[in-house]
Structure 1
Amino acid sequence: MLLSPIPTQAPHSWKHIENISIIESNEPLQTVPYTENLKQLPFYFDQDIPHAINICVARRSVIQKLQQAANLLPDHLGIVVLDAWRSRAVQQAVQDEVGNIIKIKYPHLTSSEQQQLLLQFVAPVSPDFISPHLTGGSVDITLFERATDKWLDMGSDFDEPTERSYTHFYENQPEHPACNNRRLLYSVMTQVGFSNLPTEWWHFDYGNPLWAYYNQQDNAIYGAAHWDINSH
């Protein structure tokens, strides 16, 4: 499979995302299924992040498109979903967690600079802001070897707040395994209609305002979604 380079995209502004109109489709959230080449591993639940649920759920079309993307992969590979829909409470907990990592990792930055860096990797949390994961239209994913369940080398850890996480980071190191692995993930996901967050190789969107921004759509089709753990 000849894979195209990952394009460099301009960063977005969360203020711009906030202003994109939403025409809600009312598509339901569903559990990400387990198939031969698509599975889930609820990362934040496993990491004991407060309020995280023990399954990954997303909008119905998102799951259908994930399966289509997985089917485009070579037969020995699959997609593992680490996170999808995320409540505001979990969003706040993730922001706190990554914020603490940034404070430890970048003590030379001012608090304002640390906050700017945080916003590259975690959407803001406020009562009137609909973060991408809250819509059920965002997925955090990686690739795995079907025979061994081993994750492929993507060149940075999931949620690592460094430039190595920028999707195109390894484009100038084509000999690094992460370069081809990221190109493969980016290729199958964008082919089926997802957009990628340029600062996170693992984060893809469909239907929400972030997707509308990067895919130049007039409006989003997913607003805030709610998963009631008691009714499932």
Structure 2
Amino acid sequence: MPVLLSDERITRIPAIESGEALVDLYGRGVLARDRQFVRDGLADRLAIADSFLPTGIRLYVVEGLRELKLQQEIYDGYRAELTELHPGISDADVHVLASRFVSPVEVAPHVAGAAVDLTLVGEHGPFDLGTPIDATPEQSDGACFFDAANISREARNNRALLADVLTAAGLVNYPTEWWHWSFGDRYWAYAEKQPHAIYGPVERPVLSPHC
């Protein structure tokens, strides 16, 4: 089992907010569903990673910044599902189990604008990466784990390509979700042996109705 976001090796890492701005990925030339905001440093790295891909293949960001309230709702909902699946499970155990798929809000990378959920797309649409984005471990029989064996060779090759360009640009993957990559959060700090995260929770900018 990989190190999870609920692990004390992650939760004890401090977040020292850098004050870096949120930016719209659209303005950085990164393909995204609707308008997605992330920290400036992450946006730069996504643009770099996108440039590393072969001609005709692009990164496609499904979600970046997530509101605290929504993060809590997603966590609570998944935790309730797990409690039904595992009658009698302790609060501590269900907390750990839930963190395979949804980060506890106090350490969540998405609420800091430090993470994206993304895939690869080409001329004919999304590539095969083994599961849909946001397929739970239960729904996918664990195929959502980045190193899952129960996916096709094509999906495995596509995951390897995704990892090659994102890792080269300085992002880290959350190993239970092939689509989740981050920079500047606690998980990044742990993986990169940094003393602290550089991004904490941040609010989405208020958009003009003309935007």
Please give the range of the TM-score, normalised by the shorter of the 2 chains: 0.7 to 0.9
- State the match for 1:168 in structure 2: 147
Q: Does 1:80 align with 2:72?
A: no
- State the match for 2:199 in structure 1: 222
- State the match for 1:49 in structure 2: none
- State the match for 1:182 in structure 2: 159
- State the match for 2:31 in structure 1: 39
**TM-score, normalising length: structure 1:** 0.78
- State the match for 1:158 in structure 2: 133
The one-character-per-residue Cα deviations of 1:168-212 (angstroms, maximum 9, x if unpaired) are 113x86x62111000000110000100110111001110111100
> What is the CA–CA distance in structure 2 between the aligned matches of 1:39 and 1:91, rounded to whole Å?
23
- State the match for 1:29 in structure 2: 22
> What is the CA–CA distance in structure 2 between the aligned matches of 1:214 and 1:144, rounded to whole Å?
27
1:118–1:161: 8 Å Cα contact kept in structure 2? no
The CA RMSD over aligned residues, in Å, is: 2.4
1:85–1:137: 8 Å Cα contact kept in structure 2? yes
**Identity of counterpart residues, as a percentage?**
30
- Displacement of 1:230 in angstroms is 4.6
Q: Which runs of 5+ in 1 are unaligned?
A: 1-8, 43-54
> What is the CA–CA distance in structure 1 between the aligned matches of 2:89 and 2:198, rounded to whole Å?
35
Q: Does 1:209 align with 2:202?
A: no
The one-character-per-residue Cα deviations of 1:38-62 (angstroms, maximum 9, x if unpaired) are 31115xxxxxxxxxxxx21000111
Residue 10 to residue 117, structure 1, CA distance change in 2 (3 Å)? closer
> What is the CA–CA distance in structure 2 between the aligned matches of 1:82 and 1:101, rounded to whole Å?
24
> What is the CA–CA distance in structure 1 between the aligned matches of 2:28 and 2:22, rounded to whole Å?
18
> What is the CA–CA distance in structure 2 between the aligned matches of 1:191 and 1:109, rounded to whole Å?
43
Please give the secondary structure, in 1, of the residue aligned with 2:126: coil
The one-character-per-residue Cα deviations of 1:100-128 (angstroms, maximum 9, x if unpaired) are 65567xx3564445543321110113xxx
- Displacement of 1:86 in angstroms is 1.0
How many residues align? The count is: 202
1:208–1:220: 8 Å Cα contact kept in structure 2? yes
